[in-house]
Structures are given as C-alpha cells and as structure tokens.
C-alpha cells in the first residue's frame, strides 16, 4: 500500500492559508514585534518613592516614554492600554531619566499615574519618528516599593544598580 502523500492544489491552498493565519496570529499581540532596539529601559523610584523611567539609549534616540497597562480583559489582538505618554521637546540620547509626574523640564505629559496594586505595568521608551524603542520593562507597584532610589528593575525582572544604565553593553 502506498502511503505517500500527494501534494494536490487543494492541499497546497489549505497549507498556505494555515501558514498565513498562523503568522498573522503570532504578530497580532498588540505590540510592535519588529522594532529596532536602541537601548535598555529600567524603572526605579526617586527619594520620595515616585516612579522614575531610566533609559540608556545606545544606538539612536528616544523622544517618547509611555506607561502601558496590563492585558487583563483584552483580546489577543488588542494593544495594551496607554495610561500615560510623555514627550520630549527634542530627541534624547545617552542616559535619560524622567520622573513620571509630568513636571520635568523638556517633557510634557500627564500628572503622576495612579498605580493599582495587583496590576502589572509596562514602561516603553521609543523614537516617534522611527520604528525604534528601548527594551521594555514590566513592573508592579509592589516591586517599586521594594526598590531603593539607587536601584532599577530591568527587562528580565532583575534589580540592578541604577549606574548600570549609565553605559551600553559594548562600552
């Protein structure tokens, strides 16, 4: 008995459609999946316990920092909700720090966001004129409360000394 599968036009069309649907589903997570990474982002706190974005730009620039909500209650194809957007008056390079309260020279943005316990937030820093961003960092309010002013939480969930974001990996 011959068990070799023959490629028929119908089978080829079905396989093509399945591959296209799978590819679309994989890229429809609601977030950019192919942005050029221009640096690293961390989240820390200042001496008063306010959230501070710390971004090290290594290759390019950033001019926008966003605070995103978690995916609770969202469909797979829905983006994370934007809870706050801070825009710089010019492109920034090197190490960028921004207290997320809307009152920093050279930046415009909302008042301090209310962070709810039990929720996860995402910090994103990007170049609005290009498909480029720093690595994102996810955090909870509890993680922020555990930080000292000289520490940052980074993308892999580890806590590092704030000074590690003063240089790029190749420096």
Displacement of CA 129 from its chain's centroid (Å): 17
Instruction: Report the distance separating Cα 92 and Cα 110, nearest Å.
Output: 19
Q: Check pLDDT > 50 for residue 31.
A: no
Tally of domains in the chain: 1
More confident of the two residues 29 and 5? 5
C-alpha dist (Å) from residue 109 to 29, 66, 150: 26, 10, 24
Q: Each residue of 114-145: pLDDT tens digit?
A: 999 999 999 999 999 899 999 999 999 999 99
pTM, rounded to two decimals? 0.77
Answer whether residue 14 is part of any domain. Answer: no
Is 12 a residue whose pLDDT tops 90?
no
Q: What phi, psi does 40 have (nearest 5°)? A: -120, 140
- Structure tokens of 130? 């290009």
CA distances from 66 to 22, 37, 145 (A): 29, 16, 20
Is the pLDDT at 6 greater than 80? The verdict is: no
Q: Is residue 26 part of a domain?
A: no
Domain that holds residue 159: 36-166
Residues 6 or more apart whose CB falls under 8 angstroms from that of 155 comprise 40, 41, 135, 136, 137, 138
- Host H or E run for residue 67: strand 51-68
Domain of 60, CATH number, reads: 2.60.40
The reply to whether 29 falls in a domain is no
């Amino acid at each position: 008995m011959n068990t070799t599968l023959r490629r028929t036009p119908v089978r080829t069309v079905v396989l093509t459609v399945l591959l296209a649907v799978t590819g679309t589903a994989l890229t429809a997570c609601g977030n950019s999946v192919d942005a050029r990474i221009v640096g690293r982002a961390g989240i820390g706190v200042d001496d008063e316990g306010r959230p501070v974005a710390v971004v090290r730009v290594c290759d390019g620039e950033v001019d926008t920092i966003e605070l995103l909500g978690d995916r609770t209650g969202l469909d797979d194809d829905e983006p994370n909700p934007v809870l706050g957007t801070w825009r710089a008056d010019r492109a920034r390079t090197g190490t960028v720090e921004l207290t997320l309260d809307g009152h920093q020279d050279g930046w415009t943005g909302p008042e301090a966001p209310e962070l709810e316990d039990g929720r996860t937030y995402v910090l994103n820093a990007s170049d609005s004129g290009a498909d480029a961003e720093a690595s994102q960092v996810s955090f909870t309010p509890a993680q922020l409360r555990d930080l000292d002013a000289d520490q940052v939480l980074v993308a892999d969930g580890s806590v590092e000394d704030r000074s590690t974001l003063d240089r790029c990996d190749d420096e």
